[in-house]
Amino acid sequence: MKEENSYEKVKEAFTEFLVKNHHRKTPERYAILERVYKYDGHFNAESLYKEMQADYRVSLATVYNTLELLLNSHLIIKHQFGQQEAQYEKAFGDKIHHHLVCTICGKVKEFSDKHIRTVIQTKRFAYFETSHYSLYIYGLCSKCKQKNRQKTKKLV
């Protein structure tokens, strides 16, 4: 029940954004919004498009255009993890978290750390007012680290 309530707030926020900015309120845009808010974690435009085809016929252009509207309305966040294609995630409710990104397999793991969050949020910069932030830490996930060790042992 709580999820339905928060999705209704998301839908309401999107509707307000569309009206305020003179965009059409189309069934396709709302179908994409609903699918985005069913995701847990990150997704890309292509995977969203492919998933949409099973239930709802939308063009890839409509997916990209709607993702732009969702970005502009602050309902999703766009991430560029290294050389990978852009990834998105829902952002309603200002959920701040951090990302660990494997530089070999591209796996992304989210984490939250109160100490890091406090340090960043209380940091003041001269001539700059902070509104939000993203933190990406790059390295090797445990599986890739293990594979690297095995390769090194074989070479020795």
Inter-residue contact 70 to 18 (CB < 8 Å): no
Instruction: Tell whether the model's pLDDT for residue 69 goes beyond 90.
Output: yes
Nearest to 151 by CA among 143, 134, 119, 18: 143
46 shares its domain with 80: yes
22 shares its domain with 66: yes
Over residues 51-76, mean pLDDT = 93
The pLDDT value given to residue 11? 95
13 shares its domain with 77: yes
**45-63, pLDDT tens digit by residue?**
999 999 999 888 899 999 9
The pLDDT value given to residue 30? 96
Instruction: Tell whether the model's pLDDT for residue 29 goes beyond 90.
Output: yes
Neighbouring CB atoms inside 10 A of 145's CB total 13
φ, ψ of residue 110 in degrees (nearest 5): -90, 145
Instruction: Tell whether the model's pLDDT for residue 108 goes beyond 80.
Output: yes
Residue 100 and residue 98: Cα distance in Å, rounded? 7
110 shares its domain with 81: no
* CATH number for the domain harbouring residue 121: 3.30.1490.190
**15-26, pLDDT tens digit by residue?**
999 999 999 999
Neighbouring CB atoms inside 10 A of 34's CB total 14
Q: Which parts of the chain are beta strand (E)?
A: 76-79, 87-90, 98-102, 108-111, 136-139
The confidence band for 2, taking pLDDT boundaries of 50, 70 and 90, is very low
54 shares its domain with 74: yes
Which helix (DSSP H) or strand (DSSP E) does residue 139 occupy? Answer: strand 136-139
Domain that holds residue 119: 98-155
Single-letter code of the amino acid located at 69: L
54 shares its domain with 103: no
Q: What are the Cα distances from residue 120, in Å, to 35, 44, 101, 127, 139? A: 32, 28, 20, 16, 21
* CATH number for the domain harbouring residue 15: 1.10.10.10
Q: Mark which of 90, 109, 142 sits at the end of a domain.
A: 90
Instruction: Tell whether the model's pLDDT for residue 83 goes beyond 80.
Output: no
6 shares its domain with 75: yes
Which helix (DSSP H) or strand (DSSP E) does residue 76 occupy? Answer: strand 76-79
CA angle 91, 75, 111 (to 5 degrees): 10
Give this prediction's pTM.
0.73
Over residues 64-80, mean pLDDT = 93
Q: Mark which of 42, 73, 90 sits at the end of a domain.
A: 90
Over residues 97-118, mean pLDDT = 87
Number of domains in the chain: 2
Q: Mark which of 90, 110, 134 sits at the end of a domain.
A: 90
Residue 149 makes CB contacts below 8 A (sequence gap 6+) with none
